[in-house]
A and B are shown apart, each in its own frame.
Chain A
Amino acid sequence: MNIILIIFQLAIVAIGPIYMIGLINRVKSLWAGRRGPRLNQSWFDLLRLLQKTPVYSQVTSWVFPIAPIVILATTVTASMFVPLVPGFAPYSFSGDFVAFLYLLGLGKVFLMLGALDTGSAFEGMGASREATYAALAEPVIMLTLGTLILASGQMTFSELVIPQTDTITSISIRIALAAVMFIVLLIETSRVPADDPTTHLELTMVHEVMILDHSGPELAIVQYAAGIKMVLLAGVISALLNPFSFDHLPLLAMVVSVTLIAFVAILVGLTESLTARLRFRAIPLFTFAAFLISLICLVIVHSSQGSIQ
């Protein structure tokens, strides 16, 4: 069974990004009254980019071609710890979520270094914003995980998402924390309202402006890694909401997980269609709102545990 689950996880991590992006774009198109591109359009985009000969900026050093590879390697390694199905991750140990966060952090640092390597003011601006919002999102994730650890008493990423009790409090806390992770997903993967991936003005971008000078395979690798990161965060949300765990009904849990990830993609598409991008000044507040939700959950978990004891 473990082998099947590992293959399942690998498959989701490998093809998830393509269909997630496809789904988001499809939802946005339908909402705008268009038919939209095929669901697997980004597969063709990636293939096309991979075959192209890259052009580098005259300014760049060896950091620039290395950076995308570091980003992809960190994301792939980090995917080992993520429980797409509650109760199972290909590799898990006590405190693996710290490794998950810091590996993604390493990837972000290299994304920013690649941007700064071109010496462009626009890309520096993107790097600065990415650094700020990533740093602000970091404590939110850690507090959310801390709350889950307190609730479940488990220290591994795959086990702390398993629902322990079926009380109303427990369920509502999980939903609230899933909402927190959804906000984190929007910020970390540069979606509206934190950032607009389809904007045409460099001054208003975050993620896209950092990769202005990436071309060909480099661009493909960075985009693919960003997609994997989105799948991983969506996977965490799906694991939080999934009522079935790997120990009891593995197949059902897998199906529900995939459905929930698709549901997250649709939700991202709806959010993008319905809201406008926030002003940059408002993003720290947006993050802080997520932080507050986590904090309230922490207080509730702590007080409910106190009453049990």
Chain B
Amino acid sequence: MRWCRQSPRVIAPFEIECLDHFTRDLIKTCSDEKGDFVGFLYAGSVALVLGAILSIVLPNNKLRIGVNLIAQLLSCLLVLRVTIPVLFGADAVIGYLPWSFPVEQIDFEINAIGAFFLTFSLPMTFLGSIYAVGYLGHSIEGKRHVGVHFALLTMVQFSYLIIYTVQNAFAFLVGWEIAALSAWLLVIWEHRNQKIRFAGFNYLISTHLSLLFLVAAFTVVHGVTNSFQFANFVPFFQAPSMQRSIAFVLLLTSFGLKSAFFPFHTWLPRAHSAAPAHVSALMSGVIHKAGLFGMLKMIFMMGEPELWMGWVLIAASAMSAFMGILYTLVQRDIKRLLGYSSTENVGIVGMGFGVGCLGLSLHNPTMAALGFGGGLLHILNHALFKCLLFYGAGSVYRFTHTIDLEKMGGLLKVMRWTGPLFLLGSLASAALPPFNAFVSEFLIYAGLFQSTPGLMLGQMALPLFAALLAFVGGLSAMSITRAFGLMFLGVPRDPEHAGRNSHENVWMIVPMVLHLVGILAVGLAPVWALRLVQHPTGMLLGDKNITSEKWFGLLPTSLLQSVTTVTIVFVSVFAVLLIARFLILPKSNRRHVTWGCGYTLPNSRMQYSGSSFSFPMVAVFRDILTFWTKEDLPVGVFPKDGSYSTNCIDSVEHSTFDFLKRGEGLIKLGLARIPESMGFSFSIGFVGLIILVTLVLFK
């Protein structure tokens, strides 16, 4: 095995006046010849694989986890040492690995886009592993071999190193498969439960459907280029052709399945509600970002997509954002709710990418920068707040032993850490200022309001998409209010799940706090956050060494400086009012029962329920959603107890299963018509053989 560097590491001109000393020093040290980048990568991968092996073979759980966490941290640091300079403008790290037939040589390259994904994926997965120590606490004490679980987390990390770096279709597929299988095994951790096995199976099929489309697309490309190297794909992707359009649609479907775009999302809510909280968090926030990475890679290879591609991307993503958020409104299961919210957020990211594609096709660099910059930043933001929310949901689950929203309530008073963290995370997820997602959605809005000659009717469509995004924002505010209100406010709806004897686990709190720090950092210093996506976006714009002057020149003047100002003003007004309220105005501790409009015997079950909260909105969209109603209404003069329950099921999943069921019937019907005689089968087989031979001979 031989590793080598092919390009000299020269740092791009990087004259940014306000660049932090830390970053500057970092890039300087990394530009010295001492540090061998490729060696770091190699060491990182070996650390991961060793960590995985050791966490399986070592004798007891604590030892296994300890060694595993050290290995993960080590590899994280090693790889970040390579990716951070690249992310901030150093040259791409290029190397190759000789391999046997049929690949022959695996090229790999850490460019700005790959560096961006690696830089957040690895540390977040490490934090997820730390969270797992708390979440799986009782299993660690018990007899179960928890090392396997951690080994799988390590393999997920390893798969990032492959997916985000390799430049070879075969190796890419291998990485894709490692990620899929490890994620599947992580989902079915509680495999004794039949429902969880089913959810895992559902995920396995979906992720392999995605693989199928990916293989199909690679086959199409290979048919033209006769190569599996991405470098040789580039000319194919740059010239418009029939095959390119087919490959685009196939790849979009594959990546859409991977990232759970609507209508390919059905596996996601099931898998997320079945998996342990940290696995859901990592799948939703980190692992499935690989699909979006794939889209970016495809767009990068194209250089200049056709106009319709941008529109397809925007339309599909807008539908995904809308349907995803609509489904969050009707969920009872908090983890399913968060899963649907992922579908919404990848939709928002996709809208950003679509705007970026339009910008590329119409040669409007500002529009492209806003779209891709906003989309990329939203990937990071989504990872930050979605992991926080899933960790919060896991913490609540360990506390109350339920994930049913309708059984919770009043947790804010007993969960002193999780409550506020979950509140801030959910405000971030509704893209409200001064949190992180506001920054990225702001960029996407700005992109949607750009006007460019050549858009024609599209100029009219973009404000409509902006209106849709605003609607998604309103719905998501409604959804998070509902979720947070049901879980944390009011009084416990079910005394069994009030969590009287539970306490919060510090292993679970620390990763949440760190994610909150990330959320606030992006929200309060958006200009800094934009630096993170400067070089990846520059790459997509075809300017790898984009300078800061150019970058900030592309975005509308001092756009995010203003967002910072707004945040500062808001926070200071809030602080002044808060102080004024509690110093000047009268305050008291007088308490009384909640006004029940005259009713004197309220109980906790009389609080507003989740389904009633979302009812007015659901009533508007009743035709889109599918409801199953089970009713046993009281009848007669002396009725017995009645019951009534409604359940919103996923209409895509429902109709898919319905179709499959009916399809089976149709096939059966068709088969029944085929005569079952020996002579018939023989003649059909013979005719088929003759056709086949003819095709082969006279091709």
Chain A contact residues, CB within 8 Å of chain B: 50-59, 61-63, 65-66, 69-70, 72-74, 76-77, 80, 91, 93-96, 98-99, 101-103, 105-106, 108-109, 112-113, 116-125, 127-129, 131-132, 134-143, 146-147, 149-150, 153, 155, 202, 212-213, 216-217, 221, 280-281, 284, 291, 295, 298-299, 302
Query: A105 and B477: CB pair below 8 A?
Result: yes
Q: How far is the CA of A77 from the CA of B577 in the complex (A)?
A: 12
Q: How far is the CA of A1 from the CA of B440 in the complex (A)?
A: 35
The segment from B125-133, B342-350, B611-619, B672-680 that touches chain A is B611-619
Chain B contact residues, CB within 8 Å of chain A: 409-410, 412-413, 423, 427, 430-433, 438, 441-442, 445-446, 449, 451, 457, 459-460, 462-464, 466-471, 473-475, 477-478, 480-482, 484-486, 488-491, 556-559, 562-563, 565-566, 569-570, 573-574, 577-578, 581, 585-597, 602, 604, 606-608, 612-617, 619-620
Q: How far is the CA of A96 from the CA of B604 in the complex (A)?
A: 43
Query: A213 and B590: CB pair below 8 A?
Result: no
How far, in Å, is B609 (CB) from chain A's closest CB? Answer: 8
Q: How far is the CA of A120 from the CA of B615 in the complex (A)?
A: 17
Contacts of A202 in B (CB 8 A): 597
How far, in Å, is A33 (CB) from chain B's closest CB? Answer: 31
Contacts of A53 in B (CB 8 A): 586-588, 590
Query: A76 and B573: CB pair below 8 A?
Result: yes
Q: How many A-B residue pairs have CB under 8 A?
A: 261
Contacts of B409 in A (CB 8 A): 119
Query: A281 and B619: CB pair below 8 A?
Result: yes
- Say yes or no: A119-B489 contact (C-beta < 8 A), given A124-B608, A135-B471: yes
Q: How far is the CA of A125 from the CA of B597 in the complex (A)?
A: 13
- Say yes or no: A127-B485 contact (C-beta < 8 A), given A91-B565, A139-B467: yes
- Say yes or no: A93-B562 contact (C-beta < 8 A), given A72-B577, A120-B607, A135-B474: yes
Query: B477 and A108: CB pair below 8 A?
Result: yes
Contacts of B463 in A (CB 8 A): 142-143, 146-147, 149-150, 298
Contacts of A153 in B (CB 8 A): 451
Contacts of A77 in B (CB 8 A): 566, 569-570, 573
How far, in Å, is B524 (CB) from chain A's closest CB? Answer: 14
Query: A58 and B616: CB pair below 8 A?
Result: no
How far, in Å, is B574 (CB) from chain A's closest CB? Answer: 4
Contacts of A56 in B (CB 8 A): 588-592
Query: B593 and A58: CB pair below 8 A?
Result: yes
Contacts of B478 in A (CB 8 A): 131-132, 134-135
Checking A113, A128, A132 against B484 with a beta-carbon cut-off of 8 angstroms, the contacting residue is A113
Chain B residue, CB-CB nearest to A148: B463
Q: How far is the CA of A91 from the CA of B569 in the complex (A)?
A: 11
How far, in Å, is A53 (CB) from chain B's closest CB? Answer: 5
Contacts of B565 in A (CB 8 A): 91
- Say yes or no: A59-B616 contact (C-beta < 8 A), given A102-B432, A127-B485, A134-B474: no
Chain A residue, CB-CB nearest to B597: A202
How far, in Å, is A91 (CB) from chain B's closest CB? Answer: 7
Query: B464 and A106: CB pair below 8 A?
Result: no
How far, in Å, is A119 (CB) from chain B's closest CB? Answer: 3
Checking B412, B475, B585 against A135 with a beta-carbon cut-off of 8 angstroms, the contacting residue is B475
Query: B489 and A155: CB pair below 8 A?
Result: no
Query: B471 and A105: CB pair below 8 A?
Result: no
Contacts of B606 in A (CB 8 A): 121
Contacts of A121 in B (CB 8 A): 606-608
Q: 30 A-B residue contacts at CB 8 Å?
A: A53-B586, A53-B587, A54-B586, A54-B587, A59-B594, A61-B488, A73-B570, A73-B573, A73-B577, A91-B565, A94-B446, A95-B445, A99-B442, A102-B438, A103-B566, A105-B474, A106-B432, A116-B485, A116-B489, A119-B410, A119-B594, A131-B481, A132-B617, A132-B620, A136-B471, A138-B471, A149-B449, A216-B585, A217-B587, A298-B463
Q: How far is the CA of A105 from the CA of B570 in the complex (A)?
A: 14
Q: How far is the CA of A281 from the CA of B433 in the complex (A)?
A: 31
How far, in Å, is B484 (CB) from chain A's closest CB? Answer: 7
Name 16 extra pairs, CB < 8 A, besides A80-B566, A155-B556. A93-B559, A96-B566, A102-B432, A105-B477, A109-B480, A119-B490, A120-B594, A120-B602, A121-B608, A122-B595, A132-B616, A136-B474, A138-B470, A138-B471, A217-B581, A280-B616
Contacts of A212 in B (CB 8 A): 595, 597
Contacts of A302 in B (CB 8 A): 457, 459-460
Query: A116 and B577: CB pair below 8 A?
Result: no
Contacts of B562 in A (CB 8 A): 91, 93-94, 96
The 5 A-B residue pairs with the shortest CB-CB distance, nearest first, are A124-B608, A146-B463, A135-B474, A119-B490, A116-B485
Query: A95 and B442: CB pair below 8 A?
Result: yes
How far, in Å, is B563 (CB) from chain A's closest CB? Answer: 7
- Say yes or no: A284-B620 contact (C-beta < 8 A), given A127-B481, A138-B471: yes
- Say yes or no: A51-B617 contact (C-beta < 8 A), given A121-B608, A131-B481, A139-B470: no
Contacts of A299 in B (CB 8 A): 460
Q: How far is the CA of A117 from the CA of B595 in the complex (A)?
A: 12
Contacts of B482 in A (CB 8 A): 131
- Say yes or no: A122-B597 contact (C-beta < 8 A), given A57-B592, A102-B438: yes
Query: A94 and B586: CB pair below 8 A?
Result: no
How far, in Å, is A86 (CB) from chain B's closest CB? Answer: 19
Q: How far is the CA of A210 from the CA of B562 in the complex (A)?
A: 33
Contacts of B473 in A (CB 8 A): 101-102, 105, 138
Query: A55 and B590: CB pair below 8 A?
Result: yes
Query: B585 and A217: CB pair below 8 A?
Result: yes
How far, in Å, is B416 (CB) from chain A's closest CB? Answer: 10
Chain A residue, CB-CB nearest to B569: A77
Query: B491 and A59: CB pair below 8 A?
Result: yes
- Say yes or no: A95-B449 contact (C-beta < 8 A), given A56-B590, A128-B608: yes
Query: A106 and B433: CB pair below 8 A?
Result: yes
Interface centre among A94, A128, A284 (most CB of B within 10 A): A128
Chain B residue, CB-CB nearest to A64: B489
Contacts of A284 in B (CB 8 A): 620
- Say yes or no: A116-B608 contact (C-beta < 8 A), given A127-B485, A155-B446: yes
Checking B413, B468, B563 against A139 with a beta-carbon cut-off of 8 angstroms, the contacting residue is B468
Checking B432, B486, B613 against A105 with a beta-carbon cut-off of 8 angstroms, the contacting residue is B432
Q: How far is the CA of A210 from the CA of B606 in the complex (A)?
A: 16
Chain A residue, CB-CB nearest to B480: A109
How far, in Å, is A47 (CB) from chain B's closest CB? Answer: 12
Contacts of B608 in A (CB 8 A): 116, 120-121, 123-125, 127-128
Chain A residue, CB-CB nearest to B446: A95
Query: B613 and A124: CB pair below 8 A?
Result: yes
Q: How far is the CA of A58 from the CA of B596 in the complex (A)?
A: 13
Contacts of A73 in B (CB 8 A): 570, 573-574, 577
Contacts of B590 in A (CB 8 A): 53-56
Q: How far is the CA of A174 from the CA of B486 in the complex (A)?
A: 43
Contacts of A146 in B (CB 8 A): 449, 462-464, 466-467
How far, in Å, is B491 (CB) from chain A's closest CB? Answer: 5
Query: A155 and B449: CB pair below 8 A?
Result: yes
Checking A55, A65, A135 against B591 with a beta-carbon cut-off of 8 angstroms, the contacting residue is A55
Query: A61 and B413: CB pair below 8 A?
Result: yes
Q: How far is the CA of A112 from the CA of B426 in the complex (A)?
A: 14
Query: A93 and B612: CB pair below 8 A?
Result: no
Checking A61, A105, A150, A216 against B489 with a beta-carbon cut-off of 8 angstroms, the contacting residue is A61
Contacts of B620 in A (CB 8 A): 132, 136, 284
Query: A119 and B491: CB pair below 8 A?
Result: yes
Q: How far is the CA of A149 from the CA of B488 in the complex (A)?
A: 41
Contacts of B616 in A (CB 8 A): 128-129, 132, 280
How far, in Å, is B367 (CB) from chain A's closest CB? Answer: 13
Query: A74 and B612: CB pair below 8 A?
Result: no
Q: How far is the CA of A59 from the CA of B489 in the complex (A)?
A: 8
Q: How far is the CA of A150 from the CA of B463 in the complex (A)?
A: 9
- Say yes or no: A128-B597 contact (C-beta < 8 A), given A77-B566, A77-B569, A135-B474: no
Query: A142 and B470: CB pair below 8 A?
Result: yes
Query: A58 and B594: CB pair below 8 A?
Result: yes
Query: B588 and A55: CB pair below 8 A?
Result: yes
Interface centre among B471, B474, B565, B613 (most CB of A within 10 A): B474
